[in-house]
Amino acid sequence: QKEVEQNSGPLSVPEGAIASLNCTYSDRVSQSFFWYRQYSGKSPELIMSIYSNGDKEDGRFTAQLNKASQYVSLLIRDSQPSDSATYLCAGLYSSASKIIFGSGTRLSIRP
Amino acid sequence: SQTIHQWPATLVQPVGSPLSLECTVEGTSNPNLYWYRQAAGRGLQLLFYSVGIGQISSEVPQNLSASRPQDRQFILSSKKLLLSDSGFYLCAWSPGQVNQPQHFGDGTRLSIL
């Protein structure tokens, strides 16, 4: 099993709908998780951090962490064309000062 | 506030030539520093990370090396570039405390001819 696993997509969502991005992780990844957005040709930018079980909301974004199922998700409400990007899920490695990234999910918002 | 500078933005090098990419962080002390490579359409591959001056951890054996001569400076080098070294190179930093996310520089797009 990969340490942080994401469906590569593409995920196509109509404008105004909710986009749901999912991520699972292995035992070697600790309980701190991050979502990054990466536009084509650009570097990743941090959009959400989540450290405890449950939901965390920030504007149109909600991150969800379920430790029992080793599952992290990102919901984007009222999806806009500007949300079209690759979303990277990342988790802090348990035994070292590094973050493990998933391979990313490509999201496309269709007008 | 903290900022990270990475240069150059693009670089075209012939096979067999040397490489030096530099990254500096401002506005923080004792950061953790990271070098990643991203091949076209692929995920991030961690190459090196450093938790302090002179402390380098290598993740993938290859013809690249990294150095940290100063607290906020991280350098990626190669003596002889290969075609497979092409890619998007990203430097990142995080605070020295645990559980903190990384923040990326703008990246260097390296093409090997």
CB distance B48 to B76 below 8 Å: yes
Q: Which two tokens stand for residue A10?
A: 């593409």
Q: Which pair of tokens denotes residue B49?
A: 């990370």
B1 secondary structure, DSSP code: -
Q: Give me the mean pLDDT over the B38-50 stretch.
A: 90
Of A88, A92, A109, nearest in space to A100 by CA: A92
**How crowded is residue B28: how many other Cβ atoms within 10 Å of its Cβ?**
17
The shortest CB-CB distance from B102 to any of A42, A96, A99 is to: A99
What pLDDT, on the 0 to 100 scale, is given for residue B18? 97
Q: Which amino acid is at A104?
A: G
What is the per-residue pLDDT across B19-28, written as a single tens digit (0 to 9) for each?
999 999 999 9
Tens of pLDDT, residues A14-53: 999 999 999 999 988 877 999 999 999 999 999 999 999 9
CA atoms of B109 and B1, how far apart (whole Å): 26
Mutate which: B3, B35, B94, B102, vs A, most A CBs within 10 A? B102
Query: Could you tell me which chain B residue has the CA closest to the CA of A31?
Result: B99
Cβ atoms of B66 and B47 closer than 8 Å:
yes
Residue B5 — pLDDT band, cuts 50, 70, 90? very high
Whether residue A2 is predicted with pLDDT greater than 90 in this model: the reply is: no
- Report the C-alpha gap between A36 and B109 in whole angstroms: 20
Check A103 against B42: CB less than 8 A apart.
yes
B51 and A97 within 8 Å at the Cβ level: the answer is yes
Tell me the pLDDT of chain B averaged across its residues: 93
Distance from CA of B78 to the nearest CA of A (A): 22
Mean pLDDT, residues B38-66 = 89
Indicate yes or no: CB of B107 within 8 angstroms of CB of A43: yes
Q: What is the pLDDT of residue A59?
A: 97
Q: How far apart are CA B32 and CA B19, in angstroms?
A: 22
